[in-house]
Structure 1
Amino acid sequence: MSVLDTIARPYAKAIFELAIENQSIEKWKKTLIFINEIIRSKKIEKFLSGSLSPSYLSSFFIFVAGDHIDKDARNLIKLLAENQRFKIFNNILRQFLKLETSYQGNTIIELISAYSLQEHEIIDIRCILQKIFLSKIKFIYKIDHQILDGIIIKKADTVFDFSVRSYLKQLSDVLNF
């Protein structure tokens, strides 16, 4: 897990707990996606990376967001500006989405392969993992040609590395290359 994810986790958890308390998970999800889109805008991105005061920055951001955000979201923006956390907002959003998925009884698995897997292969992997983790599986699927062949399965801090690159590294370590 990256340092940015570690920093983002308490923010996402607090937002998610508020969303559960107010029965507004879907509303918060839409709000966070909306805020993320604003932050990712090239013009706004440059503005956010400047050296503006937190109060001016939050006021500007709230002005840009307009009526699309409520009081709680405005407070979040003020907190992010005060703590200079706009740069990790995408991580906050990802952590929130992971919490939502877990809350719905799903397990998020990051599946990385060297090439595009066929549908039946993904289904087979999903079935095996559902038996192992005893829950529904939701994949975040990525292709990484650097692993040469095979797959890597990540669940939170647990990694199952079945890649050729990993096997070659293990072989190299044994042979002391």
Structure 2
Amino acid sequence: MAEVNTVARPYTKAAFEYALGKGNLDQWSATLNLAAAAAGDEKVARVLSNPAMTDAQKGDLMISICEEADQAGKNFIQLLAANKRLALLPEIAAQFNKLKANQEKSLDVELTTAFDLLDEQQEKLAQALKTKLGRDITLTAQVDKSILGGVVIRTEDLVIDGSVRARLAKLAEAMNS
């Protein structure tokens, strides 16, 4: 069986190209995020897996949840329902948001530190990342005392681990070699 991201990709690409052409990436992103959250909800997933419901009824249920979607968005959800692909909504939304971020030259960065950083420190780090990566940076900071010190920066496929824990692990590995 094909992987979920492979099956979701053509739907994502079609939705993205349509939304880009119409100039409403934000609206489509909001619709897909809402639909993905609904499809991922345990109660909604249970209803959607009910074999007594027709595909059209499942599509109508999702449309009622995403009532602010434009007609094209509603048609997209009905298409997914007709093709028995509503379960792909979380993956479609994730892929769509990545394409949107690439289009807008922005990047979500997760920053993990051992202690809270001041706002000016976060801003300075965001500026340095913006310069290095050539994109606008949206920083999300969290504290994890287990890294002991330093920072861990994560975004899509890039991880910069400057934590004390990682350095100690490298030192231990070098000593045991």
Instruction: Map Cα deviations across residues 134-165 of structure 1 (whole Å, 9 max, x no partner).
Output: 33222243444443332111233222111122
Distance 1:142 1:71, change over 3 A: same
Equivalent residue, structure 1, for 2:60: 62
- Aligned partners of 2:164, 2:56: CA distance in 1, in Å? 48
Please list, as runs of the form range in 1=range in 2, the aligned pairs for 1:151-166 lying within 5 A after superposition: 151-166=151-166
Query: How far is 1:51 from its partner?
Result: 6.1
Aligned 8 A contact 1:58 1:77 in 2? no
**Pairing 1:101–2:97 present:** no
Equivalent residue, structure 1, for 2:51: 52
Please say which of residues 152-161 and 61-70 is displaced more in the overlay: 61-70
Structure 1 runs not aligned, ≥5 long: none
SS of the residue aligned with 2:54? helix
- Aligned partners of 1:141, 1:107: CA distance in 2, in Å? 14
**Once superposed, what is the RMSD of the aligned Cα atoms?**
3.2
- Aligned partners of 1:140, 1:12: CA distance in 2, in Å? 26
Please list, as runs of the form range in 1=range in 2, the aligned pairs for 1:1-177 lying within 5 A after superposition: 11-48=11-48, 50=49, 52=51, 56-57=54-55, 59-66=57-64, 67-78=67-78, 80-81=80-81, 82=83, 84=85, 86=87, 89-176=89-176
Aligned 8 A contact 1:114 1:144 in 2? yes
Distance 1:94 1:115, change over 3 A: farther
Instruction: Calculate the TM-score normalised by the size of structure 2.
Output: 0.73
SS of the residue aligned with 1:46? helix
Aligned 8 A contact 1:102 1:108 in 2? no
Equivalent pairs counted in the alignment come to 172
Q: Which amino acid in 2 is paired with 1:123?
A: E
Query: How far is 1:83 from its partner?
Result: 5.4
Instruction: Calculate the TM-score normalised by the size of structure 1.
Output: 0.73
Structure 2 runs not aligned, ≥5 long: none
Percent identity between matched residues is 27
